[in-house]
Each structure stands twice: as C-alpha cells, then as structure tokens.
Copies of this chain bind each other. A is one copy, B any other.
Amino acid sequence: MRWLECDTFNCSVQRALDVVGDRWSLLILREAFHGVRRFDDMATHLRISESVLTRRLRGLMEADVLTRVAYRGPGARTRYEYRLTERGMELFPVITALMQWGDRHLVDEPASAWSVTHKTCGEPVEVVVRCVHDHEVLDPYQTRTEPGPAARRLPTSTEAG
C-alpha cells in the first residue's frame, strides 16, 4: 500500500493535530511549559480573548493534556490552576522542535529571545530525530516510511496514488 492509498483517519500526526493543531493551543502549551498556570496570566501574556482561552483550555483538558487544580490563598476564594498532565508533558519535543526551527530560521538577530538549557550542565538543548537502535541522528532521507499494522486502505482507492 502506498501512502496515497492509505486512509489517514488513524494517522497519528492527524490525531495529534486534532488535539493541538492550532496556534492558540500550542501557545497555551508554550505558556504551560514556562510554568504559567493561571487563567489571568495566560490571557494577559497571550493577548487572547477570555472566551477563546476558555474554549482552548477546555479542549486541552478534554484531551487530558492539561488538568485543572483548585488552589486558595489565605482568605481568598478558590481559584484554579491549569497544569500539564503527564501526557501534556510529553509534548515537550513538539514545542521544543518548533522553537528550534524558529531559532534557526525566523529570528531578527543571531540570538534567541529565550533559551532552554540543561539544568545540570548549562548547555543548550536540541531536538533530534534518531534511531532507537544506534542513536544516530537522522534526516528524512535516511528514513523509510511504510504502512504499519494499523494501516487501512482508502475505501475508494483501487490502484490510485
């Protein structure tokens, strides 16, 4: 089966994008990875309308990417924080890969606005695609794509593609 003959309904890229495939959701995640947890802080920093932020947070909670936790300061009313779930934490490579690409191609000066470094040694982090076997860093030409066990042929497809 060739890629064009494959039904993409269960493509993992597509499913991931159904959850986080819009600019606001990914920017909310950027804030979350920076430790921003409060609705008001997100709204102000992102300059996003409260209704859009509410909707996106709800979507990210439904997808188990964020979770809402109650907190209350002394004498204050209960408020909520939005925290990354374990599943949300695993989007770290997605956000970091976007940052890396932006750092390489879209900056005004040869310097980053924000740096992410390894706590222990202080060196910058990088995102790489590698082989699980020998850990070699790979570019697309060094990889092969092919249908996996869950691949399904497009219903209408015969020899097309």
Q: Flag if A10 contacts B107 (CB, 8 Å).
A: yes
B128 touches A127 (CB 8 A): yes
A134 within 8 A of B: yes
> Taking the complex as formed, is A159 at the interface, i.e. its CB lies under 8 A from any CB of chain B?
no
Given contacts A11-B30, A118-B138, A143-B118, contact A113 B6 (CB under 8 A): yes
Chain copies in complex: 2
Whole-angstrom distance between the alpha carbons of A146 and B106 in the complex? 19
CB-CB nearest in chain B for A84? B140
9-residue interface stretch from A21-29, A53-61, A70-78: A21-29
A109 proximity list for chain B (CB < 8 A): 149-150
Q: Which of A121-136 contact B (CB under 8 A)?
A: 121-134, 136
Select from chain B the residue with minimum beta-carbon distance to A8: B45
For residue A48, give the distance in angstroms from its CB to the closest CB of chain B: 11
Main secondary structure of the interface of A (DSSP, over half): mixed
Q: Which residues of B contact A133 (CB under 8 A)?
A: 118, 121, 123
Q: Does any Cβ of B come within 8 Å of A115's Cβ?
A: yes
Q: Provided the pairs A93-B97, A138-B118 are in contact, do residues A145 and B34 lie with their beta carbons within 8 angstroms?
A: yes
**A114-B132 Cα distance, complex, nearest whole Å:** 17
Is B150 in contact with A3, judged by CB distance below 8 angstroms?
A: no
Minimum Cβ distance to chain B for residue A116 (Å): 5
